[in-house]
Amino acid sequence: GAVVSQHPSWVICKSGTSVKIECRSLDFQATTMFWYRQFPKQSLMLMATSNEGSKATYEQGVEKDKFLINHASLTLSTLTVTSAHPEDSSFYICSANDGGGFNEQYFGPGTRLTVT
Amino acid sequence: GQNIDQPTEMTATEGAIVQINCTYQTSGFNGLFWYQQHAGEAPTFLSYNVLDGLEEKGRFSSFLSRSKGYSYLLLKELQMKDSASYLCAASDSNYQLIWGAGTKLIIKP
């Protein structure tokens, strides 16, 4: 149980275009979803926290107009990277918790974005 | 401020034991997580401690001392597949995870 999927697993896009990444909780309802970014050989960096039906809370330094997050249902959150630039190339990982237990976060497999 | 410290890199020999330490400072505390992350993959959950003491799960054990703000992950009978980064994360008063930078563990034959 507690499976989180992400789509696509990898994407290459041209500079200036937008890319949407989907994160789905397959067998549980995710009260909260998290979006992380990870550059090579660095640790996870939390970008934003989203709760179903409400606006996402962005971490300091993360541009909310550039990284649009929508958490429209208890099983789906999307991250849209708008007007992508090469420096946005990174590994984007989502996680979700179901609000129970000890608040463990279940991670998706990640999406590798390359902007050319 | 909130902070997690863990060594950047460690090396150990196949079949041996290794201990990865983590110290934390958070606003409130709701538990300490350890995750394993292989290169190019997402983290996978290893353990969770909220009370003082040792939690054993097969070859992996995790220890917590709340008074010292200290945890360690103990890996026994190391296998080559254990080569990965190990991430320590503390849950603060808002249940938000504060992540360490990760410890890259290199296993040598």
Q: Scan residues 55-114 of A and list those with Cβ closer than 8 Å to B.
A: 91, 93, 102-110, 112
pLDDT in tens, B87-106: 999 998 888 888 999 999 99
A1 pLDDT tier (thresholds 50, 70, 90): low
* Average pLDDT of the residues in A64-74: 91
Q: Name the DSSP class of A35.
A: E
Mean pLDDT of chain A: 91
pLDDT of residue A54: 82
CB nearest to A107's CB, from B42, B99, B102: B42
> CB–CB of A49 and B100 under 8 A?
no
pLDDT of residue A101: 67
B86 at A interface, C-beta within 8 A: no
* Average pLDDT of the residues in A73-98: 94
B99, B34 in Cβ contact below 8 A?
A: no
pLDDT in tens, B15-59: 999 999 999 999 999 999 999 999 888 899 899 999 999 999 999
Name beta bridge partners: A8.
none
pLDDT in tens, A3-49: 999 999 999 999 999 999 999 999 999 888 999 999 887 888 999 99
B24, B34 in Cβ contact below 8 A?
A: no
E-only strand ranges, chain A: 4-7, 10-13, 19-25, 32-38, 45-51, 57-58, 67-73, 76-81, 90-97, 106-107, 111-115
